Structure 1
Amino acid sequence: MSAVNPNHPWTPDSLAHELQRLREHPLGLHTAQWVAEDGGRVVGMAAALQFAGMYHPDRYHAELMVLPEAGRRGVGTRLAGVVEAHLRARGAREVLAGAYEDQPHALAFLARRGFSEAMRFFDNVLDVDSFDPAPWAAHEALPDGLRALSLAELEAEVGQDSARRAYHAAFVEARLDVPRTGAASEVTFGDFQTRLSHPLADPHGILLAVTAQGEVAALSELERAEDDSGRLNTGLTGTRRAWRRRGLALALKLRAIRLARQRGIREIWTGNATTNVPMLAINDRLGFRPRQAFVEMKWGGV
């Protein structure tokens, strides 16, 4: 998986954590995976998964990856046949899959199987060394009545449970307006706790705008990257509806960039749907530059 998509690599620990999280989820999420072997070497993988964030019992996400040197030999076609038979037996009514826009052969592979484009997502990347903080100094200040704290700092002040519940409440509300190809489903506090136990989660990199009453009004999440100490990934950046249009997201992103500079980070990566105009505008102003878009494609519908 890491060789096929080096921009988003996995380690065994992070992959095991993610699969365990899916398999133990109270929704009873489905997970099925296959590998293609050639002489004892894995040359391809496929998966049929359900995710909690956009759950429907008849919606599945399909993944298929083949090493470039094993391409054009029918490996992908055979794996696709296995996945299709599996999903047909389960009565799937919607399947989401995708490929990058510079992989026309992969997009055509999906189109031949009845998939059509549903949405596009960019990886946006900031070269931290080239970022000049001077013109942005005034924008880092929060409105009166708000403080900027990391999750670790808030936990030290009010205790882990109270801090995480305040963070969870803001996360749940902010993510409802993030563009996606289906309705957002509930993120329970238990699932949120599991998310925070991920090997790459960093409570010092989760930046929050906190009211005097302890409510989290906005958040911007930084996560460590797999096997790359010079890179940080952005999780969710968002603001609760009552606090929007007051510069909170921009202020927290600026603090995140400052934190990255202090840590000697080379790049910050974030992902944005092409329809998320407000966040794309903020990232463009800050100097994030888009990479090739990931084209999410859909078969059927629920």
Structure 2
Amino acid sequence: MSAVTTRAVRPATDADIPVLARLMSEGNPRHPITTQTWAHQLQELRGHPLGPHVEQWLAEENGPGGRRALGMALILQPPGMYHPDRYYAELFVAPTETRRGVGAALAEAVDLHLRGRGAREVLAGAYEDQPWGVEFLVRRGFSEVIRYFDNVLTLADFGSAAWEGQAPLPAGIRVLSFADLAAEVGMDPAITAYHTAFSEVREDVPRPAPPTPLPLDTFRTRLLDNPLFFPEGILLALTEAGEVVALSELERDDGDPARLNTGLTGTRRAWRRRGLALALKLAGLKVARETGVREVWTGNASTNRPMLALNERLGFRPQPAFIQLRWGGV
């Protein structure tokens, strides 16, 4: 009698985190994720004061050679844009298993679960150089909301000397790293000053829905527990009174020690158009060069023309866009 091969989709458990991280990294090699980081992010979501729902699935094949992972899917309520009826979904199929119905089987499990929870809005996405992913979502009733561009600067191509003196700071403003500020005033006051600026700046970042306020305690925990936390790479512009008026964040990459990723960069409303974003970007690139990294990555929404233009001036080069799509709405 020949051995029977079966396929099934099942809920994933924490024991599956290494497989889930591998499938996500294979599906999105631009932004790989390690087992450690995915475990940390899940723990962070589960401990969030809003209590966001998170669920994951694995598609597997059982045959003569044993059990083999074919793909994974996940949904979560994004705490940064929280609404009890809004969800974010991701689905990845192993590169060797495409066009075998794995994605459809995972989508069916996700759809059944979301309908059971009464979801009214679902966000998902795919890169523009993966048109099959976009078409997969469009066939299921999704439509485009916004595009995000990864922009990459190779430091060997960056002419830092040409920028000397090009971004003078306004009178009374100095630039410190978060590490230096914490050493100067103490960790808690540094976090509080950083959080105040961060909270205002993120309100104006383009996104599909308004941001949910991030409490100070949650901000502190997320900052200090982050395995990619790089305090020397968080650059802050401060007044003489110690108020943070602009910021630019760098964090280490999950799988490439020669790469840094940019988080939030921005200026508080009363201090805009004074060159602070450029000054902080240049300070960050100096840190990157001194750290010995090869590349700096940043991401911007297609509607954020000022930041896209600034990155282009510095020599960042756009990569294929990530197209975010939405089903329903709240």
TM-score, scaled relative to structure 2: 0.90
AA matched with 2:61: D
Distance 2:69 2:187 in 1: 42
Does residue 128 of structure 2 align to residue 101 of structure 1? yes
What is the DSSP-based 3-state SS (H/G/I as helix, E as strand, rest coil) of the residue aligned with 1:222? strand
Encode CA deviations 1:151-189: one digit per residue, 9 max, x unaligned: 010001111000000000000000111000111110111
Distance 1:194 1:235 in 2: 17
Distance 1:60 1:94 in 2: 6
Does residue 260 of structure 2 align to residue 232 of structure 1? yes
- 1:26 is aligned, of 27, 38, 49, to 49
Distance 1:46 1:129 in 2: 38
What is the DSSP-based 3-state SS (H/G/I as helix, E as strand, rest coil) of the residue aligned with 2:229? coil
- 1:130 is aligned, of 128, 136, 157, to 157
Distance 1:195 1:172 in 2: 14
- Cα displacement (A) at 1:41: 2.4
- Cα displacement (A) at 1:243: 0.6
Against the structure 1 CA distance between its residues 140 and 262, is the aligned structure 2 distance closer, same or farther, given a 3 Å change threshold? Answer: farther
- Cα displacement (A) at 1:38: 2.2
What is the DSSP-based 3-state SS (H/G/I as helix, E as strand, rest coil) of the residue aligned with 1:26? coil
Does residue 213 of structure 2 align to residue 186 of structure 1? yes
- Give yes or no for contact 1:140–1:255 (8 Å, CA) kept in 2: no
Does residue 103 of structure 2 align to residue 76 of structure 1? yes
- Cα displacement (A) at 1:231: 0.4
AA matched with 1:36: A
% identical aligned pairs: 62
Counting matched residue pairs gives 302
1:47-58 residue pairs with structure 2 within 5 A? 47-58=74-85
What is the DSSP-based 3-state SS (H/G/I as helix, E as strand, rest coil) of the residue aligned with 1:56? coil
TM-score, scaled relative to structure 1: 0.98
Name the residue aligned to 1:149: 176
AA matched with 2:145: A
AA matched with 1:157: E
- 1:41 is aligned, of 33, 55, 68, to 68
Runs of 4+ in 1 over 4 A off after TM superposition: none
Name the residue aligned to 2:14: none
- 2:272 is aligned, of 222, 226, 244, to 244
- Cα displacement (A) at 1:193: 1.4
Name the residue aligned to 2:328: 300
Distance 1:290 1:42 in 2: 33
- Cα displacement (A) at 1:135: 2.0
- Cα displacement (A) at 1:139: 2.7
Name the residue aligned to 2:247: 219
AA matched with 1:162: P
Q: Which runs of 5+ in 2 are unaligned?
A: 1-23
Distance 1:160 1:57 in 2: 34
Name the residue aligned to 1:171: 198
What is the DSSP-based 3-state SS (H/G/I as helix, E as strand, rest coil) of the residue aligned with 2:284? helix
Distance 1:165 1:107 in 2: 41
What is the DSSP-based 3-state SS (H/G/I as helix, E as strand, rest coil) of the residue aligned with 1:245? coil
AA matched with 1:187: L
Name the residue aligned to 1:110: 137
Q: Which runs of 5+ in 1 are unaligned?
A: none
Name the residue aligned to 1:198: 226
Distance 2:129 2:69 in 1: 24
Q: CA RMSD in A?
A: 0.8
Distance 1:263 1:73 in 2: 45
Distance 1:195 1:245 in 2: 30
